[in-house]
Amino acid sequence: ALLLLFGLWTIVHRARKKQQREREELETEVVINYFASQINQHQHYDDLFWDVAKNCISRLNLEECVIYIVDRERNVLVQKAAFGPKNPDGNTISNPIEIPIGQGITGNVALTKKPEIVNNTEKDPRYIVDDERRLSEIAVPLIVDGEVFGVIDSEHSQRNFFTTKHLGLITTISILTANQIQRIQVEEQKQKAEIEVLQNKQKATESRLQSLRLQMNPHFLF
**Distance from C-alpha of 153 to C-alpha of 116, rounded to nearest angstrom:** 10
User: Are 101 and 90 in contact, with CB atoms under 8 Å apart?
Assistant: no
User: Which residues does 184 contact at the CB level (< 8 Å), separation at least 6?
Assistant: 42, 43, 44, 45, 48
pLDDT tens track of the chain, all 222 residues? 777 777 777 776 676 766 655 555 546 666 677 777 777 788 888 999 999 998 877 778 889 999 999 999 999 999 999 999 999 888 999 999 999 999 999 999 999 999 999 999 999 999 999 999 999 999 999 999 999 999 999 999 999 999 998 998 899 899 989 999 998 988 878 877 777 777 777 777 777 766 666 666 665 555
pLDDT at 25: 52
Which of 154, 151, 155 has the alpha carbon at shortest distance from 142?
151
pLDDT at 19: 61
DSSP 158-177: STT---HHHHHHHHHHHHHH
Which of 156, 81, 73, 67 has the alpha carbon at shortest distance from 110?
67
pTM for the predicted model, two decimal places: 0.75
One-letter amino acid at 120 equals N
SS3 (DSSP) at 67: strand
pLDDT at 18: 62
pLDDT at 24: 52
Structure confidence by residue, pLDDT tens digits, 76-90:
999 999 999 999 888
One-letter amino acid at 187 equals E
Which DSSP symbol is given to 123?
A: G
